[in-house]
A and B are shown apart, each in its own frame.
Chain A
Amino acid sequence: MTPVIARRTRRQRELRTAYLLLSPTVLLLLTVLAYPLGWEVWTSFTSLSPLQEGATTFVGLENYRRQLGDPQFWWAATVTVAYAAITSVAKLALGLGFALLLARPFRGRALVFLAIFLPWAYPAGVSVIGWYWTLNPPTHTAYAPFMGHVKSGVDSVFGGGAWAFVSVILFNIWRGSSFIAVLLLAGINAIPPELFECALLESKSAWRRFRLVTVPLLKPFLALGVFLSLTSAFADLANVWMLTAGRIVFPVIGTHAYWLAIKAGQYGPASALSLTLVPLLLGVLLLLFRLFDPPEPEAI
């Protein structure tokens, strides 16, 4: 065999191995996500409902059109965007603050790091239950009167159900800022210390150093954090549902769709509704890919 052919067959073998190694991941994602997504897209064009007698009909874009004409949809969309924006900004600000606090060594840093890491590490599937009982306590507990005052105070300013919504925001920020802090700390650790030393000589203003050195170097980490924060907020059904116990005055798209599907049995409109956010998120992701998944380093 000539070396060229030998190399080619080796490459072919490599490629076979590559596809073989990819197959578990791809198969898993296809089973768990592709079929359900396909079902959801198809259903969004039909009148499928478990409560309805007779054949399911194809209704085209009717479900989408109906959503866009529904004031409830716009209310849910507004709440969702506000929720995502508020939590993302707060998480980024707090997370960046925590990461900067931890950036330089001080006594007890390891312990403070653990404390900041805990809200994310604490299993959220159950801590959300604890939060719910804390923020909306059973009436016999000693802290119930205090929380009751807070609740009625918030509700009287922003309307009924506001406290439940605020508690969702607080929980999301509490847990998310911890994740972002650790992510950004990892980012700060990736910056060579010499760069900070140079910057220290170049400029006296801490703000300028932060803006011109730290932030640009942290960009990929910030982008990744923003994206994960947005998806978690847009897809946040469980936490909203849990913390508001289903009595939803401030619906997000997720809970509105859930309500339509489960309580009202309208699978078609519910599917259409939950898909309305996909183009938006996909657009954001494509923009952010440029920051955290940049073109080939070899090509530079």
Chain B
Amino acid sequence: MNPKPWRAKLGHRTLVLLATVYCLFPIYFMLVQSLKTPQEDVFGNPLIVMNPTLENFEELFERKGEVRGFVGDALRRSYPFLDWLANTLVVFAGSVMATLVASVAAAYALGRLRPPGFRWWRRAIFATYVIPQTILFIPLFQVVNALGLDDNLLALLLIYPSMALPFCVWMLSAYFQHLPREIEEAALIEGASRATAFFRIILPMSRPVLVAAGIFTLGTVASDFMIASVFLLSGQNQTVTAGLGTFDVALDELAGVAGVNLLAIPVVMISAVFARGYVRGLTAAMLEGA
């Protein structure tokens, strides 16, 4: 059908290659920097690494800064990086769980039980995205203080879900709303309760959409820099994001880039494993709604 198939194919290949390079280059660049020795960082080729080393990664885990090279002990900071990793794990996993539980509950109510005005409930929840976060952290600080969560990971566990919830509720409720009624009805006629029907039938069906909501939440939570830096002040309470934000550009550059990679690797792996489910879930949520 196509008059010049090979030219179309070549064009497609070229574009695919360009897109891939564009998307991966910054990530590749950060990876390469993190594997360099200080010497190579200064004198080497910026795009490749000749003698890859893991010393920048190791440095993150040394609690006491050692005297090394021309930088004296006084200037070397030690980082409680293990604490940061553990904190990050708690905050990320907790936020994703909390968001999923809250948004599934709300979405089931809006999509299946449909209280009067459920569309406006949903729109109102989604509309919270127009609230500018800019200086919201000033009053938010009052809330966090009133709850006694100052400099506490729980503060992030409270705030992060609110950033992903509106989208998740909207997506999940659109999906639940378009599941045909008969799906539950058969179970209800057999005498099962609504709860049983939900856990046995609806929840297993919605796995792709749950995956999509989870990945969206993870991406949103992992993209925050501001909240983590504002609310976590003492070193051992920080997440990796907040901790790396305190690094000094000139002194800690290589260790910092290593830290960036160290957080990115698990997040990227999880996202990669669920990437297909993410697309399928987004499709399923929009399919009949659109």
Contact = CB atoms under 8 A, between A and B. Distances in A.
Interface of A: 14-15, 17-22, 24-26, 28-29, 31-33, 35-37, 39-40, 43, 97-98, 101, 106, 112-134, 137-143, 146, 174-175, 178-179, 182-183, 185-187, 189-190, 200, 217, 219-221, 227-228, 231, 234-235, 237-239, 241-242, 253-254, 257-258, 261-262, 267, 270-271, 274-275, 277-278, 281-282, 285, 289, 292-294, 296-297
Contacts, number: 299
Interface residues of B, number: 103
B40 to A, nearest CB: 8
Given A15-B115, A140-B250, 7 more contacts: A35-B143, A115-B19, A115-B20, A118-B271, A121-B271, A142-B44, A200-B1
Contacts of A43: 139
A114 B42 contact: no
A297 B289 contact: yes
Given A36-B143, A101-B15, A186-B282, A140 B41 contact: yes
B241 A123 contact: yes
B264 interface: yes
Contact of B29 (A20, A21, A134): A134
Contacts of B33: 134
A221 B290 contact: yes
Contacts of B27: 118-119, 122, 127
Interface stretch (B51-59, B60-68, B73-81, B100-108): B100-108
B127 A25 contact: no
A49 B42 CA distance: 47
14 contacts: A28-B102, A28-B158, A39-B138, A43-B139, A116-B19, A120-B219, A122-B268, A138-B250, A139-B250, A141-B253, A190-B283, A190-B286, A258-B135, A278-B130
Interface string B199-232: 0000000000000000100010011111010000
B142 A25 contact: no
A294 B135 contact: no
A297 B257 CA distance: 50
Contacts of A122: 27, 264, 267-268
A294 B289 contact: yes
Contacts of B192: none
B275 A114 contact: yes
